[in-house]
Amino acid sequence: MSETIDLNMLQKKVARAADELRSLQSVLVAFSGGVDSSVLLKLAMQTLGRDNTLAVTAQGPLHPAWEKKQSQEIAQLIGSRHIFTSDHSCRVAEFVKNTAQRCYFCKKALLQDLQNLAEEHQLRAVVAGENADDQFDYRPGARAMSELGIRCPLKEAHITKAEVRLLARQWKLPNYDAPSSPCLATRIAYGQPITSELLAQIEQAEGLLLELGFKIVRVRVHGVVARIEVSPQEIQRFFDPALREQVLTRFRQLGFTYTSLDLAGYESGGLNKLIAPEDRL
């Protein structure tokens, strides 16, 4: 980890996050199976116990199949109750248009469903695994959380991403060093409509690259072009003609007319470069 972490300060931050959870009494954790929500779920279980904690994972075209399996395994490891809910974001017209505010409409629809589930299960609050570093990124979904009163104990306690990963490692969570994995819609260039068919293409394309052993993978879609992002250290693997031909053949079968490799390598939120300043609300 690149940043130096003050362990005494981190302990105080964790205590503060636990106090915030304790004040809520019972929670529904928006649980993707990623490292942030895993640390939050673990802390909620430690603080409130199994009867007062429920992990809920969204399931649908936006979420790759491996994510469901991972969330099941981690929730089981933590010992939490865990259920799935259908993500109906693809029915939201403003989301399907894929504007720069796409994530706001998606997040709002999903969180409203989670609030209804929390009420059904007699849980007092919905909590999400935002961390303190998220405020520095373009995240329109954060506006939806604020409007709906969703609590973010890790963020409120000023716990950073590096600190989240350290906690996950200390708590022996297997995803402590896993890269972030936002929904598949984040692979589609703004302005290009989101369809279930396109999301399935992206999932299969990324699945192939993962099967080939690439560690960090994004397949960004710009019209008929698939732009592959992998870590800079793995770019040289595409110099292998056999591997390159395998990828090209499969991508054509999936419906991509052109396949390109981004020489800059993987970059989180890479498509946000295309957003005009006036659209960053």
pLDDT tens digits, 235-272: 999 999 999 999 999 999 999 999 999 999 998 755 55
Sequence-ordered list of residues with C-beta below 8 angstroms from that of 243, at least 6 positions apart, any chain: 212, 237
Average pLDDT over every residue of 135-160: 91
What pLDDT does 251 receive?
A: 99
Is 153 among the domain residues?
yes
264-273 pLDDT per residue, tens: 999 875 555 5
Do residues 149 and 35 both lie within one domain? yes
Closest CA to 230 of 260, 194, 275: 260
CATH number at residue 257: 3.30.300
For the segment 86-102, the average pLDDT, to the nearest whole number, is 93
Q: Are residues 214 and 152 located together in one domain of the fold?
A: no
pLDDT surpassing 60 at residue 231: yes
- Name residue, tokens 């029915």: 91
- Please state at what angle helix 35-48 crosses helix 7-24, rounded to 10 degrees: 70
Tokens of 252: 């054509």
Any domain includes 198: yes
**Residue 106 near residue 78, CB atoms below 8 Å:** no
Q: 151-154 long-range contacts, Cβ below 8 Å, gap at least 24? A: 151/20, 151/24, 151/27, 151/125, 151/126, 151/127, 152/127, 152/128, 153/17, 153/18, 153/20, 153/21, 153/40, 153/43, 153/127, 154/17, 154/36, 154/39, 154/40, 154/43, 154/129, 154/130
Domain co-membership, 110 together with 200? no
Q: Which pLDDT belongs to residue 195?
A: 96
- Domain stop point among 117, 141, 170: 170
Q: Are residues 212 and 253 in the same domain?
A: yes
Alpha-carbon distance values, 76 to 30, 42, 72, 82, 99 (Å): 15, 11, 6, 8, 37
Residues 56 and 127 in one domain: yes
Residue 80 lies in a domain: yes
Judgement on whether residues 104 and 236 belong to the same structural domain of the protein: no
Query: Domain end: 170, 201, 232, which one?
Result: 170
Same domain, 162 and 190: no
pTM of the predicted model over 0.75: yes
15-38 pLDDT, tens per residue?
Answer: 999 999 999 999 999 999 999 999
Is residue 57 domain-shared with residue 193, that is, in the same domain? Answer: no
Query: What's the CA dihedral at 209, 210, 212, 213 to 10 degrees?
Result: 130
Judge if 123 and 190 occupy the same domain.
Answer: no
Q: Give the residue from 63, 23, 42 showing the smallest Cα distance to 129.
A: 42
Asked whether residue 255 is domain-assigned, the answer is yes
Residue 200 lies in a domain: yes
> Residue 1's pLDDT band (boundaries 50, 70, 90)?
very low
Structural domain of residue 238, as residue ranges?
184-279
157/134 same-domain check:
yes
Are 24 and 69 in a shared domain?
yes
How many domains are contained in the chain? 2
The answer to whether residues 45 and 160 belong to one domain is yes
Residue 277 has pLDDT above 60, yes or no: no
